[in-house]
A and B are shown apart, each in its own frame.
Chain A
Amino acid sequence: MRTSLFYLTSVSLASLLLGIIVTIIIPAEEPIGPSPLARPYTAQEARGRDIYKREGCHYCHTQQVRGPEANKGMIHQPGDIGPESAPGDYYYQSPVFWGTERQGPDLTHVASRQGLGNNKAWHILHLRNPRAVSPGSLMPSYDYLSPEELDALAVYLLTLK
C-alpha cells in the first residue's frame, strides 16, 4: 500500500509539473516584444489602471478582440470593435484584464472610437451617470469616485487605442 501511495503522489505531481511546463513555461518563453499598441504607463495612467482593477471593471468589459470578430463586431458603428489583439499588446500589463464577460462592450480599442471613447469629457460624464449618456446601459454609476479618481480612470481609458 505504501508503494501505491507513492505511485499516486508521484504520478499526480509529475502530470502537474509536465502540465505547468508545457502549458505555462514554454508559452512564456516565446520571445514576444511590445507591439505598437503596448505602452509603459505614466504615474497617472497607472493610477487609473489601479482604479479600474479596484472597481472590477474587467468583470463586465473584456480587453481582447478575437480573430473572427476583429473589425466586424459592432459597438456603435459596424466593425468598431477594432483589430485583433496580439500578445505584444499586453507587454507592460500586470495583471492583464482580458476578462471573460461582456455585460458591457469590449474596451481593447475604446479610445479609437471617434466622438465617444476618444473623448475624456465623455468618459467622465459616462462614468458618473452612464444612463444619461447611454439609455438602457447596465453600468453602475461611479458618482462616488472623487474628481481626481475619475480623471485618472479616464486618462487610463484613453490609453486603450
Chain B
Amino acid sequence: MWSDEQGSASRRFFYSAVFWLLVPGLIGLFLATFLYVPSFYDNLPLVVKPYLSFGRLRPTHVNIMIFGWLSQAYAGAILFILPRLTRTRLYSERLAHVNWWLWNLMMVGAAITLPLGLTQGREYAEMIWPLDLLAVLNWGLLAVNIWVTVMRRREPKIYVSLWNFMAATIVFIPVYMVGTKIWDPGGAYTGMTDNIVNYFYVHNLFNSWFTTAGVGLALYLLPKLTGKPLYSHRLALWGLWSVWAGQHHQLYSAAPDWLEYLTVVFSILAVVPTTAFIVNFFMTMRGSWNRVRDDVALRFLATGAIFWGLTCVQGVAQSFRTFSLLVHFTNWTVGHSHLAFVADYTFWAFALIYVMVPQLAHRPLHSRKLMEWHYWLITLGMTLFMAALWIAGVIQGLDWMSGRIPFLETVQAMHPLFGARLLGGLMAGAGVLCFVYNIWQTARRPQTAPAVALVGGGGE
C-alpha cells in the first residue's frame, strides 16, 4: 500500500488515470446521444433520471476528465520524470502514495457528489468545499515532491521541464484557492466579481496547470523519442502575463470595458510563448518525421502538438471581440474545449503512458496493433467531432445575429451536426477502449524479461 519501490507511485497514478478516463468517455457518449435524440432520456425510469440529467452529468464529465484522467496522468508522468532529470531518488515515494490515495478519494467524492446535484454551481469549480480542500492538499503534496526532489538533485542543470513543473505548481495552487474561494464553504463571490473570478480561474487552470506542466511533459518526451536534443533551451516559460487574460472568456459582458481591452492585449501577447513552443517543437522534430510511421507514441505527441497550435490560433481569434460575438455561446466553444483537453493534452498523455507504463511495469506493451487502432480511431473520430461542432457554432452564431430566426429553429438546425458529433464520439470512444484494454493487458500479464523498448525512447 505504501511501497517504497521506485516508480511504484507513478505507475499507480497512470493506472488510476486510465481507469478514470472511461467515466467521462461514457458520460460524453451518453450526453451526445441525448443531444441527438432527447426523447431517449424522457423514456428512462424516473428513479435514475435525476442522476442522468444533462445539467448534472455535464460537470461530472468535465471534472473527472480534467482532474481524474488528465491531472493524474500528469502526476504519474511528473513522478516518473523527476528522478530521471535530477539523477536522484524521488524525495518520498511514500508521500506520493499518500498523494495517490487522496487524489482518488477526491475523484470518488466528485463522481458521487456531482450526479447527486451537490455543486457550487461555477463552471470547472463545481466540486464542493471538502473536495476543494482535498484538491489544494493534493497539489500541495505533489508540489512538495517536485520541489524537494529538485532541491536535492545531483544533476547540476535544471532541464526546462523541471522549471515548468515547479512554475505550474506554485502558480496553480493560489489560483485554485482564489478561484474557488477556498476560505468560504459556499465557494462563490457575489455579483459581477463572481464571474470575473470564475473565468480568471478557468483560464489559469488551463494556462498555469495544463499548459505549463503539459509543455514540460512534451519537452521531456520529444528529445527521448526523436533521439535529438531540444532545438532551443532558451525557451521562455509559458508567458507569465497570460495570467491576466482570463476575462477574454466573457467579452461584451457586463464587466468593465477597460478590463476587456486589457485582457485582449494580454491574449495577443500570448502569441509569443506559444510561437516559441511551436517553433521549438517542430524544429526538434525536423528530420524525424519518418519515425512517426512506426512510433505511435511520437505520432500522438506530434499530432497533439499540431492540435495544440490550432488551439492557440483559435484561442487568440476568440479573444477578439468581433469573432467572440459570433461564436461565443455556440457549439464552437464545445469544439474548442475538446480540442484543448482531448486532442492535445490527452494525446500527449497517451504518448507519455505508452512510453512510461511498459517501463514501470517491466514488460512490453501488450499489442502494437491496438495502438494503431487507438490512434486512427481517436484522431479521425475527434476530427469529425470537432469539425461538426465548429460548423455548428458558425451556423448558430450567424443565425442568432440575424435577429430573424426563432431560437427553436436554430436548435433544430443542429440535428445533423449533432449526429456527426455522436459518430465522431463513438469512434473516439472505440479508440479509448483499445487503449484501456491494451494498458490493462500490459499490467496484468505475468512479468517477463526486461522490457523491450517497443515504442522507442525510454529510460536513462
* A residues whose Cβ falls under 8 Å from a Cβ of B: 1, 4-5, 8-9, 11-13, 15-16, 19-20, 22-24, 27-28, 30, 32, 53-60, 62, 64, 66-69, 72-76, 78-79, 84-87, 89-105, 129, 131, 134, 136-144
CB distance from A34 to the nearest CB of B (A): 9
Cβ proximity bits B246-261 to A, threshold 8 Å, 1 near / 0 not? 1101111111100100
Contacts of B26 in A (CB 8 A): none
Please name the residue on chain A nearest to B325 by beta carbon: A68
CB of B420 to closest CB in A, whole Å? 16
Partner of A12, one of B171, B253, B262: B171
Contact between chains at B408 and A134 (CB < 8 Å): yes
Q: Chain A interface: which of B184-192, B275-283, B347-355?
A: B184-192
A139 touches B53 (CB 8 A): no
Can you show 19 pairs from A to B with CB atoms below 8 A apart?
Answer: A8-B163, A20-B178, A23-B262, A24-B193, A54-B121, A55-B53, A56-B58, A56-B117, A64-B254, A66-B251, A67-B252, A72-B403, A74-B400, A95-B198, A99-B329, A101-B329, A137-B408, A140-B49, A144-B46
Residue of A nearest to B414 (CB): A138
Check A94–B411 contact: CB distance below 8 A.
no
Given contacts A55-B53, A74-B403, A85 and B329 within 8 Å (CB-CB): no
- The residue of chain A having its C-beta at the shortest distance from the C-beta of B55 within the complex is A56
Give the number of chain B interface residues (Cβ < 8 Å): 84
Q: Are B56 and A73 in contact (CB under 8 A)?
A: no
From B62, which residue of chain A is reached at the shortest CB distance? Answer: A59
The chain B residue with its CB closest to the CB of A105 is B407
Contact A28 B38 (CB under 8 A): no
Cβ-defined contact, A138 with B254, below 8 A: no
Map CB proximity to A onto B389-427 as digits: 1 under 8 Å, 0 otherwise: 000000010001111111110011010000000000000
Complex CA distance for A105 and B412, rounded to whole angstroms: 13
Measured CB to CB, the nearest residue on chain B to A59 is B58
Q: Which residues of A contact B171 (CB under 8 A)?
A: 12-13, 16
Contact with A along B172-185 (1 / 0, CB 8 A): 00110010000000
Residues of B within 8 A of A1 (CB): 156, 158
Q: How far is the CA of A98 from the CA of B3 in the complex (A)?
A: 47
5 new A-B contacts at CB < 8 Å, known A64-B250, A98-B253? A23-B246, A27-B256, A27-B259, A90-B254, A95-B187
Distance in angstroms between the alpha carbons of A90 and B189 in the assembled complex? 11
Contact A74 B406 (CB under 8 A): yes
Residues on B close to A: CB < 8 A?
34-35, 38-39, 41-42, 46, 49-50, 53-56, 58-59, 117-123, 150-151, 156, 158, 163, 166-167, 170-171, 174-175, 178, 186-198, 200, 240-241, 243-244, 246-247, 249-256, 259, 262-263, 325, 328-330, 333-334, 396, 400-408, 411-412, 414
- B200 near A24 with CB under 8 A, answer yes
Q: Are B240 and A87 in contact (CB under 8 A)?
A: no
Say which residue of A9, A54, A66, A91 sits within 8 Å of B325 (CB atoms): A66
Whether A32 lies near B262 (C-beta < 8 A) is: no
Beyond A32-B192, A91-B191, whether A141 also contacts B259 by CB under 8 A is no
